[in-house]
Amino acid sequence: MAAPLTGPLRNLLLASQLGLSVHHPLAGWFVLTILYHDARSSSEPITLSYLARTYNNEYLDAATDEDPIADDVLKKVLDVLVAQAGLVEVNPRKVRARMRSGQYHIRQSYVYHITSSGSEYLKMMQKVIDAESTISANTNRIQEYVALVEKLSVPVRSGADTQLYNDFKNMLDAYDDVMKGIHKLEDDLDELANDIAFNHGSQEAGHLQKMLRDKAIPAYQLMLQQAARIQGLANDPTFPDQIAHS
């Protein structure tokens, strides 16, 4: 069985409906996946029959108890990927087919290949998810940083045990992680901005923009608002001694 899709990627693919199949909304993605992974490893030409068999054996969506996909439905998905999206190409070719009797014969069939655009699309989608993961991780880390800054900023602090030192160290670690996360997100977004497969008006772009607008930017603004508290700690003559004694 194929590895199950992660939540963020699954939701994004369901929203984009690659292949435009109502009852098999993930079919377009899985067809691209099969074509990408099986192109070099399979000794059998990737025909409609091959795709249907592989899809039904390995890629049915267990989360929705997806029914096996029929050849005519899969053919419509492929037509979308070929004619509309340009992610797949199809060519007539003579292939060796096995009969029910066990004998082989040569017949004309259509063989499918993923295009360079299709390969780039698969990679681009993973970049979108990487960027989303960075945003989520950074947002959580910023919240931890803010909580620690607020805790350290209270007027009365105890250096009787190691808690004060641990909180201070954890605050520095959180800040360091956030800075690394910002640089990684910058790199992720820069790659996407220059990715020829990334359509800036697409569902994927809208999803990423919403993540930035709703999660990343408010979190960074909250972090910047801690400047006064940090300055207060820097100006507090008792703070270094309390940390040293903790």
User: Residues 3-17: pLDDT tens digits?
Assistant: 566 677 777 787 777
Question: What is the per-residue pLDDT across 96-125, written as a single tens digit (0 to 9) for each?
Answer: 766 667 677 787 889 999 999 899 888 888
Distance of alpha carbon 92 from the chain centroid: 35
Does residue 77 have a pLDDT over 80? yes
pLDDT of residue 156: 75
Average pLDDT over residues 146-175: 89
Most confident of 43-52, 123-132, 140-149: 140-149
pLDDT of residue 161: 80
pLDDT of residue 75: 96
pLDDT of residue 131: 87
pLDDT of residue 177: 95
Average pLDDT over residues 60-76: 93
Does residue 203 have a pLDDT over 80? no
Mean of all residue pLDDT scores within the chain: 87
pTM over 0.95: no
